[in-house]
Structure 1
Amino acid sequence: MAPHGRCCEGDHQHRDTPEMGVEYSLYTKIDKNNLECLNEATEGTGKTVFKPWEERLNFDVYVESDADEELLFNIPFTGNVKLKGIIIIGEDADTHPNKVRMFKNRPRMTFDDVSAVADQEFQLHVDNTGLLEYATKVVTFNSVHHLTLHFPSNFGADTTRIYYIGLRGEYSEAHHHGVTICTYESRPNIADHEKLQDNVTHRVQ
């Protein structure tokens, strides 16, 4: 097994440090009122997997897919996020998702939209402890105000279960720029029009 904190198989790291609770606090910056989980068996359970690091192993709370194994999360943030890493926890090997596809700043995606090329995707490993972190492309996931996570399949079960989704990164408040109102003359200025004609005539000559 690779040492904790060192890269493992190229796409994820084993991590378990005291700072993880602080690093994985982006869930507090999610606009929970507008968060959507499509194909959840029980309404509202998709929101419950975004929780404190200390509660990641609470297997009493989870989201399970309904009609098939797919789940789709639309995650709006209250500001801008630089996303650096993601952790996915499942309990049972068969119901654990085996892939996640990530889309940046495409609000309210549906299953009709997921045929688009993802900004990044990972083949997932079964993780029931939260030690596998998948490092995102920071350049790609800079200034994220909306994140979509698509879980298309699992390791063989009819439905998918997710117990925890952890997001690591940096947060900054959204900037609200003032609106500049310009007032334009509704009537043409005849003097300006005559000057323009003089200039045109002069250049033609």
Structure 2
Amino acid sequence: MPHEHNHSHCHDEGHDHDHDHDTNDLGPQDSLYSYIDRSNVVALNANNPGEIVIKPWHERTDEGKSLESDADDQMIIRVPFTGSVRLRSVLLKTGPGDRTPSKVQLFANQENMDFDDIEDKTPTQELDVAQGREVGEYAVKTAKFSNVSSLTLFFPEGQGADTIQIYYLGFLGHWTERKNNPVITVYETQANIADHPKVQGTEGNFSSPQS
């Protein structure tokens, strides 16, 4: 009988936690806050550094600190992660009212983009931002954000006011350490190429006695 009892636990061995479940299940345990390289977050055209709106989960509704665009209603926030992230959704608290961005464009793994670069690039995904006092959760196409080391958010325009304002920016998903597999694959490919001349040389040895 003990074997049957153990058997009931076998579903725990699977990667159930890795499968995409309904975003309604997401919560503090899925927050990527601790995996953001916060000292290297950059906000462009902002009235102060961007790190202050990337807050711990329990401060997501706090309005004590915010980020406002400076010269116009555009802003870029660059967010590097400390590993590889599979992004599930972006959390935003913005506004109020006309100071809400009309949309946000997400760019995965595009380092050091500024306003000049961004005009020529196609976003990985674009999301419309709704007005409201709550923290909005915006689900992304996980397949396009399955191996993200940095995320650039571009807010191209507001909803009427001269500036946009952001109170909170957060991310939900899964974090893994950066994998070394791609590097190993490259070495294997190079090794295979190096092997071919040896094979040809061996054939030459076989034919030499007949010449």
Normalising by structure 1, we get a TM-score of: 0.75
- CA offset at residue 176 of structure 1? 5.4
Is contact 1:99-1:121 (8 Å) kept?
A: yes
Matched, 1:22 2:25: no
Match of 1:32 in 2: 38
Opposite residue 127 of structure 1, the aligned amino acid is G
Question: Mapping of 1:115-154 within 5 angstroms?
Answer: 115=119, 116-130=121-135, 132-154=136-158
Q: Give structure 1 regions of 4+ aligned residues with deviation exceeding 2 angstroms.
A: 19-23, 175-179
Is contact 1:21-1:52 (8 Å) kept?
A: no
- Of 154, 159, 180, the residue aligned with 1:155 is 159
Is contact 1:88-1:127 (8 Å) kept?
A: no
Question: Aligned with 1:28: secondary structure?
Answer: helix
Q: Distance in 2 between matches of 1:109 and 1:137?
A: 22
Match of 1:101 in 2: 105
Q: Which whole-Å deviations, capped at 9, do the CAs of 1:142-166 have from their partners, x for residues lacking one?
A: 0100100000111111111000112
How large is the Cα RMSD of the aligned pairs? Answer: 3.0
Is contact 2:39-2:51 (8 Å) kept?
A: no
- CA offset at residue 79 of structure 1? 0.3
- CA offset at residue 14 of structure 1? 9.4
Match of 1:111 in 2: 115
Question: Aligned with 1:54: secondary structure?
Answer: helix
Question: Aligned with 1:129: secondary structure?
Answer: coil
How much identity, in percent, do the aligned residues show? 35
- CA offset at residue 175 of structure 1? 3.5
In the alignment, structure 2 segments of 5+ residues that lack a partner are 1-21, 188-197
Normalising by structure 2, we get a TM-score of: 0.73
Greater helix proportion: 2
Match of 1:9 in 2: none
Q: Distance in 1 between matches of 2:111 and 2:72?
A: 23
Match of 1:53 in 2: 57
Question: Aligned with 1:140: secondary structure?
Answer: helix
Q: How many residues align?
A: 174
Opposite residue 150 of structure 2, the aligned amino acid is H
Is contact 2:33-2:55 (8 Å) kept?
A: yes
- CA offset at residue 35 of structure 1? 1.1
Q: Distance in 2 between matches of 1:32 and 1:57?
A: 19
- Of 68, 71, 80, the residue aligned with 2:72 is 68
Q: Which whole-Å deviations, capped at 9, do the CAs of 1:150-189 have from their partners, x for residues lacking one?
A: 001111111110001121100011245899x9xxxxxxxx
- Of 83, 88, 92, the residue aligned with 1:88 is 92
In the alignment, structure 1 segments of 5+ residues that lack a partner are 1-12, 182-191
Q: Distance in 2 between matches of 1:145 and 1:37?
A: 17
Is contact 1:79-1:174 (8 Å) kept?
A: yes
Q: Which whole-Å deviations, capped at 9, do the CAs of 1:110-142 have from their partners, x for residues lacking one?
A: 111112110100111113211x32110111000
Q: Distance in 1 between matches of 2:81 and 2:167?
A: 20
